[in-house]
Amino acid sequence: MSKERARRRAERAAAAARSAQVRAVRLRRAARRRALLGRLRRLVPFPVRHRRQGGVLARRRRAQNGGVFLVFLAVQCLAWLLCSTWTARLAVFGLSIFLVPVVVTLAFDRRS
C-alpha cells in the first residue's frame, strides 16, 4: 500500500511541477507583454477611453437621442423622395437643423 501511495504522490508532484512550469511560462510572457506595452505607452500617447455611463437617466437620454436621430433621418429621407429639386431638399435640411433643438427642448424638457 505504501508503494502505491508513494507512486501517487510522485505523480501529483510531477503534475504540480508541470503546472508550475506552465504557470511560470505564462507569467514570464505576461511580464514581457506588460513591459512592452509600458514602453509603447511611454512612446505613443494612447487616447483616454471613457466608459459610458450606465445609469437609468443616461440610458433614457441615449434612447431619446437615438429616437431624435431616427426621426431626423426619416424626415430627410422623405424630403429626398418627395421633393424633386435640390433647393427644396436643402431647405428641408436647413429647417430640420434649426428645428431639432426646439423640438428636443419641447418634447423632452431639456431646458438646462
pLDDT at 77: 96
pLDDT in tens, 64-77: 999 999 999 999 99
Residue 58's pLDDT is 86
pTM attached to this predicted model: 0.52
Query: What DSSP line would sit under the chain, residue for residue?
Result: -HHHHHHHHHHHHHHHHHHHHHHHHHHHHHHHHHHHHHHHHHHS-PPPPPPPP-SHHHHHHHHHHHHHHHHHHHHHHHHHHH--SHHHHHHHHHHHHHHHHHHHHHHH----
Q: Convert the pLDDT of each residue in 77-112 to its tens digit.
A: 999 999 999 999 999 999 999 999 998 888 888 765
pLDDT digits (tens, 9 = 90+) for 20-62: 999 999 999 999 999 988 888 788 776 777 777 778 888 888 8
